């Protein structure tokens, strides 16, 4: 995919939807909930606005009732939003097929994102954009946690989950990993409650300092 190369751990969520006006608000809320669960350091209202524009573009220019998919992907310093649809027409503010509403939507996309574009696929096209998450220690911790949980999930579940189950699997893996760490600390004479308290203190101190 132009402008994007996967070289490090990432979090990914796939959200299929129907191109219906009523679906857009549901999709926006689902995306906001997922970003909140991940703890992505981006303005949620900004991300919701981009999701709305991408989904509305499908409703207006592919047709109501068309099948489409929103993909959220957080990797390092950027959050990527992709909408896949079945239309092979690549619209831009300068094309004759794009009316004023579409033009405003794409200009908004360009103004809110650090990069964006469209590309043809075997099934249709993808319109994508990327938002900066602002690199920092928080992002580095999230990348390390994602890498650990991916590896732990392979051991704990006997293989990585795919699609929508993947995020649920990572959450369950996180709980199981914490439990295993508490067993490890108790077996070595440490107080599990003390370990949790110390971890909480470090977390709160870093959150307050951010």
pLDDT at 26 (0 to 100): 93
pLDDT digits (tens, 9 = 90+) for 107-160: 677 777 888 889 999 989 999 999 888 654 455 566 667 767 777 666 655 555
pLDDT digits (tens, 9 = 90+) for 31-70: 999 998 888 888 888 888 899 989 998 998 888 889 999 9
pLDDT at 39 (0 to 100): 85
Task: Determine how many CB atoms are found less than 10 A away from the CB of residue 8.
Answer: 10
Residue pair 80/72 in contact by the 8 Å Cβ criterion: yes
User: Which domains are present in the chain?
Assistant: 11-132 (3.30.565.10), 137-209 (no CATH)
CA contacts within 13 A on the Cβ side of 65: 0
Strand-pairing partners, residue 131, are 79
pLDDT at 95 (0 to 100): 43
Which is more confidently placed, 108 or 82?
Answer: 82
Does the global pTM surpass 0.75?
no
Treating both helix axes as pointing N-terminal to C-terminal, what angle do 164-187 and 137-157 enclose, rounded to 10 degrees? 90
């Amino acid at each position: 995919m132009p402008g994007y190369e996967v070289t490090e751990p990432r979090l990914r969520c796939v959200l299929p939807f129907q191109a219906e006006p009523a679906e857009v608000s549901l999709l926006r809320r689902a995306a906001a909930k997922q970003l909140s669960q991940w703890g992505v350091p981006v303005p949620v209202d900004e991300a919701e606005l981009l999701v709305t524009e991408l989904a509305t573009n499908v409703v207006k220019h592919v047709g109501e009732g068309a099948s489409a998919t929103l993909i959220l992907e957080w990797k390092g310093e950027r959050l990527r939003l992709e909408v896949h649809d079945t239309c092979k027409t690549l619209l831009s503010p300068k094309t004759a097929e794009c009316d004023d509403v579409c033009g405003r939507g794409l200009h908004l996309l360009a103004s809110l994102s650090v990069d964006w574009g469209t590309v043809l696929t075997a099934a249709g096209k993808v319109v994508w954009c990327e938002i900066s998450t602002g690199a920092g220690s928080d992002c580095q911790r999230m990348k390390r946690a994602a890498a650990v949980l991916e590896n732990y999930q392979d051991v704990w579940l006997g293989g990585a989950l795919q699609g929508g189950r993947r995020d649920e699997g990572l959450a369950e893996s996180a709980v199981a990993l914490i439990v295993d760490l508490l067993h490890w600390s108790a077996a070595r004479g440490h107080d599990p409650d003390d370990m949790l308290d110390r971890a909480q203190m470090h977390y709160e101190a870093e959150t307050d300092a951010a």
